[in-house]
Amino acid sequence: MTRRDPMSISTTWLAAAALLAGLCAPGAAWAQTQLRVFSGGTNQRPDLMRVLFDQYQKQNPGVTITIETGGATSELQRQYLSTVLNAKDASIDLYMIDIVNPAQYFGAGWLEPLNAWFGEPATALKPYLPVYATSNVIAGKIAAMPAFADAMFMFYRKDLLAKHGVAEPKTWDELSAAAKKIQAAEHNPNLQGLSIQGAPIEGAVCTFLLPYWGQGKDFNDAAGKLTLDKPAAVRGLTQWLAMVDAGVIKKNVAEVKTPDTVNEFKAGQVVFAINWTWAWDRFKDDKDSTVAGKVGVMAMPTMPGGKSATCVGGWQWAMSAFSKHKAESAKLIKFLVTPEASRFLAAEGALLPTYPAVYTDAEVLKNVPWFKDAAGVAMAGKSRPMSRDYGQVSDVIRTTTSAVLARTKTPAEGVDEIDSRLRRVMR
């Protein structure tokens, strides 16, 4: 994608934004209203959010929006926001939060339910990707509204699959066989079949969940109660170890972090790679990439008899329960979560759309053509475990998964540990 100056908004966007003025018509009630918004870190593109805020201010001249940013990772942002919200700080009105946080923040009483402005959850969230109907609804209340999505994708070397007559695999066993065939034919000892994240980082939560979900299993119910199917979880972890033993996944997988997968794939050392949305631009645009124009995207493989599912990430707009400008903040959220805003963020920043229809928008596909292949994957996305103590849930899953991949625990021992430790947390 050829990046454009974020300030150079398309005519289409400007026209669409003008139509949104009806949602937020200026008036005396807005006079001297100052809203402060936490807009995440660099990866959440505060530059593009600033464009949206500026457009909103033009339509509402009595409103001033200031941005606060910080935290290079979701974990660092969660630490900061937990401190600010626990202190009942009223200085920030809106927060951009990770998709894993609504249950935690809402359960702590830090977020204002949005039903009064958006209506019933089933109606309000129906136009968006299906995952939001569960991730953003807590006890029948809308805890947050979708800003932009993210997801884990299966990237692959389409040139190598074509060269060796290999079809896109539908199951993990098929992927293992395809990878071994290509590895043997390429005679490259450094070529990995599949790269996943096994280090004890957030990505390892998804490493645990992908083959588990791929059996049609759920980790928790709508209330956040643990519903772990232990035999299915053991099968999922055993699948990864079998692929290590087959030489498809490298032996030190328990040390692999998200950037490692990206760097090795773009260096031409990987056939299949699981990673987040942002990796695509690294494969396509980085000067040291050897795979530009050779990368495909496909649905996540399943276990036998299962169904494809992937980890959805991304960011939401949530209102502070301590804000002194709740009505005004709700109007701003309405502006930020429209199809037009999603289209702008997708076209200008390659940020994954929250609306299914935006994936086929002509302007978006002109700038980000691979989104046409991303739609089906995003539609099958699932949220990571819902919990008021997501930090502890994440820590248990990722550290245990890493230990199993390092072979310091067996899959059965790892699953027993996850079950025993989280059954007390996710009750």
What CATH number did the domain enclosing 199 receive? 3.40.190.10
pLDDT digits (tens, 9 = 90+) for 240-259: 999 999 999 999 999 999 99
pLDDT at 79 over 90: no
Give CA–CA dist 317/147, Å, rounded: 6
* Res 30: pLDDT: 39
β-sheet bridge partners, residue 148: 315
Q: What angle do CA 324, 76, 277 make, to 5 degrees?
A: 100
Query: 326-336 and 46-59 are packed helices; what angle lies between their axes, rounded to 10 degrees?
Result: 110
> Cβ neighbours of residue 424 under 8 Å, at least 6 residues apart?
none
Question: Is position 272 within any domain?
Answer: yes
Give CA–CA dist 86/83, Å, rounded: 5
Per the structure, how many domains does the chain have?
2
136 and 159 co-located in one domain: no
The fraction of the chain above a pLDDT of 70, given in percent, is: 93
Residue reference for tokens 């032996």: 251
First-to-last C-alpha distance (Å) of the chain: 46
212 and 63 co-located in one domain: no
Q: What angle do CA 117, 325, 112 make, to 5 degrees?
A: 50
Whether residue 351 contacts residue 345, with contact meaning beta carbons closer than 8 Å, is answered with yes
β-sheet bridge partners, residue 74: none
pLDDT digits (tens, 9 = 90+) for 366-422: 999 999 999 999 999 999 998 889 989 999 999 999 999 999 999 999 999 999 999
Tell me how far the alpha carbon of residue 9 is from its chain's centroid.
Answer: 25
Question: Is position 4 within any domain?
Answer: no
Question: Is position 165 within any domain?
Answer: yes
250 and 318 co-located in one domain: no
Both tokens of residue 67? 């941005």
304 and 359 co-located in one domain: no
Question: Is position 6 within any domain?
Answer: no
Q: What does residue 261 show for φ and ψ, rounded to 5 degrees?
A: -60, -45
369 and 401 co-located in one domain: no
320 and 306 co-located in one domain: no
pLDDT at 17 over 60: no
204 and 288 co-located in one domain: yes
276 and 417 co-located in one domain: yes
Question: Is position 30 within any domain?
Answer: yes
115 and 131 co-located in one domain: yes
287 and 204 co-located in one domain: yes
Residue reference for tokens 């089933």: 122
Whether residue 282 contacts residue 350, with contact meaning beta carbons closer than 8 Å, is answered with no
* Res 78: pLDDT: 84
At 38 the three-state DSSP class reads strand
Give CA–CA dist 317/332, Å, rounded: 10
pLDDT digits (tens, 9 = 90+) for 270-318: 999 999 999 999 999 999 999 999 999 999 999 999 999 999 999 999 9
183 and 264 co-located in one domain: yes
Q: Which amino acid is at 274?
A: I
Range of the domain at 239: 151-311+386-425
287 and 399 co-located in one domain: yes
Tell me how far the alpha carbon of residue 363 is from its chain's centroid.
Answer: 23
Which one is predicted more confidently, 79 or 348?
Answer: 348
Question: Is position 5 within any domain?
Answer: no
Give CA–CA dist 333/313, Å, rounded: 19
* Res 197: pLDDT: 98
* Res 1: pLDDT: 41
85: enclosing H helix or E strand: helix 74-86
Whether residue 330 contacts residue 319, with contact meaning beta carbons closer than 8 Å, is answered with yes
Would you place residue 44 in the very low, low, confident or very high pLDDT band (cuts 50, 70, 90)? very high
Give CA–CA dist 373/371, Å, rounded: 5
User: In this structure, are strands 145-157 and 295-298 parallel, antiparallel, or unpaired?
Assistant: antiparallel
